[in-house]
Amino acid sequence: MMLRLEDLSVARGGLRLLDGVGLALGPGGAVVLRGPNGIGKTTLLRTVAGLQPTISGRMHLPPEGVAYAGHADGLKATLTVAENLGFWARIYGQTEIAPALAAMNLETLADRPAQNLSAGQKRRLGLARLLVTGRRLWLLDEPTVSLDQASVALFATLIRDHLAQGGAALIATHIDLGLAEAKDLDLTPFRAKLREPGQGDFDEAFA
């Protein structure tokens, strides 16, 4: 088992958002989180990524940890595309970046500083980075934002290959990735009945 969530409750900024979330992902499995804006997809991903605590429930994660790709791209602006991938590869104890460059069609951009990339190119680099983590469980928040159709197709192939190699993915997206392997999980039924403010309100935008 790659990921198991049992009776999980999550909150954001002190607001209880979701209750009783359960899901299981094995090797080769993918779940696409669905639901309207604000339901708590990002919050659930951040909680699974360990960026914020759970309110209650249990999470079982791979012992080596996860790879999380959120809204912020986290790129080193002055490093080139290849240097960015090399930087992250070293952090995760990997050495190869060529497959990551190839997977998201970044070879011709390899020597370009990240700050000179277009929004879609930056996003492609952010997604290529998943490959140099060596992590089996990917948590992806709106991964296709800024991508053109060709890049969405590349990305779908990247995920498919990852699943075929025994990886797993939990993905929040509003678009159809065309992944026959993925199951949808609509979070609407898990909407917390009492979305009341609690302890620890904070405004993260200015943190």
Ligand X SMILES: Nc1ncnc2c1ncn2[C@@H]1O[C@H](COP(=O)(O)OP(=O)(O)OP(=O)(O)O)[C@@H](O)[C@H]1O
Contact positions vs ligand X (CB under 6 A): 12-13, 15, 17, 35, 37-43, 172, 204
Q: Of 18 and 158, which has the nearer Cβ to ligand X?
A: 18
Cα separation, 47 vs 53, in Å, equals 6
Q: How far is the CB of 5 from ligand X (least distance, A)?
A: 15
Q: How far is the CB of 147 from ligand X (least distance, A)?
A: 16
Q: How far is the CB of 41 from ligand X (least distance, A)?
A: 4
Give the residue nearest to ligand X (CB).
Answer: 13
Q: How far is the CB of 38 from ligand X (least distance, A)?
A: 4
Cα separation, 65 vs 50, in Å, equals 9
Q: Of 40 and 86, which has the nearer Cβ to ligand X?
A: 40
SS (H, E, C) 50-90: CCCCCCEEEEECCCCCCEEECCCCCCCCCCEHHHHHHHHHH
Q: Of 35 and 126, which has the nearer Cβ to ligand X?
A: 35
Hey, what are 48's tokens? 């699974």
Hey, what are 37's tokens? 């804006």
